[in-house]
């Protein structure tokens, strides 16, 4: 029964793939957290941040997450259009969601106002600008109401 052995191999592959996915998205070990902690300060571009997201998403907590939010704020201030391009790519939707999630009230008020102005200027032209404007306003509201 050659089809049975093929089915068995296919099942093994599926189990292997799901175990690997579980491992990748599972808890962040102490060693992984230390690597993520030392990497976050070196993020200076959207591609750096995307590499960080792919490697360390499971460690997105505490000071590591605070560092990511800080980098997201700086990148949206310095390269807003770069993010509009990323958000337009269907293959990068999970990364775009990660960026939007980190647009939060841990950022400085000045940074949030600056991003809000950029998002206002393209609201109505691009859907992601509307999302960024709403998200920024929510963060500013949370800052005003601690």
Partner 1 sequence: MAATLLSPRRIRKNRLRWRRCASGRTVYAYVEGNPVMKFDPAGLSSLCFDRGSGIMSVYDKDGKLVDSYPAANNVTRSSNGPWPDGTYSYSHYNRHSESGKTGPYGSHGIHVFDVPKRSGMGVHSGRSGPKSKTLGCVRTDDESMEKLNKLHKTDPLKSIQVGGPCPG
What is the contact surface with partner 1 in residues (CB under 8 A)? Answer: 27-28, 30, 32-34, 36-38, 41, 59-67, 69-70, 101-102, 104-106, 108, 142-143, 146
52 or 104, CB closer to partner 1?
A: 104
Taking the least distance from each CB to partner 1, the nearer of 38 and 121 is 38
Please, how many CA atoms are within 13 Å of residue 113, restricted to the half-sphere of its CB?
5
Least distance from C-beta 1 to partner 1, angstroms? 46
* Nearest to partner 1 of 85, 141 (CB atom): 141
Q: How far is the CB of 25 from partner 1 (least distance, A)?
A: 14
Contacts of residue 84, Cβ cutoff 8 Å, sequence gap at least 6: 122, 126, 128, 129
Instruction: Give the torsion through C-alpha atoms of 29, 33, 39, 45, to 10 deg.
Output: 90
Distances, alpha carbon 125 to alpha carbons 118, 130, 131, in Å: 12, 9, 12
Rg (CA), the chain: 19
Residue closer to partner 1 by CB (options 37, 122) is 37
CB of 12 to partner 1, least distance (A): 31
User: Nearest approach, Cβ of 17 to partner 1 (angstroms)?
Assistant: 25
Q: Are 81 and 95 in contact (CB under 8 A)?
A: no
The least distance separating partner 1 from the CB of residue 9, rounded to whole angstroms, comes to 36
Q: Which CB atom, from 69 or from 87, has the smaller least distance to partner 1?
A: 69
DSSP letter, residue 124: T
């Amino acid at each position: 029964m050659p089809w049975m052995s093929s089915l068995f191999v296919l099942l093994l592959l599926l189990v292997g793939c799901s175990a690997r996915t579980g491992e990748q998205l599972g808890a962040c070990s102490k060693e992984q957290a230390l690597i993520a902690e030392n990497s976050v300060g070196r993020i200076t571009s959207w591609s750096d941040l995307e590499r960080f997201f792919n490697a360390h998403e499971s460690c997105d907590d505490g000071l590591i997450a605070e560092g990511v939010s800080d980098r997201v704020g700086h990148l949206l201030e310095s390269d807003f259009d770069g993010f509009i391009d990323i958000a337009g790519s269907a293959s990068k939707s999970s990364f775009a969601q990660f960026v939007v999630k980190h647009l939060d009230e841990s950022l400085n008020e000045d940074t949030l106002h600056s991003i809000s102005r950029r998002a206002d200027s393209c609201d109505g032209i691009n859907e992601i600008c509307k999302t960024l404007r709403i998200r920024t306003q929510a963060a500013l509201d949370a800052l005003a109401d601690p």
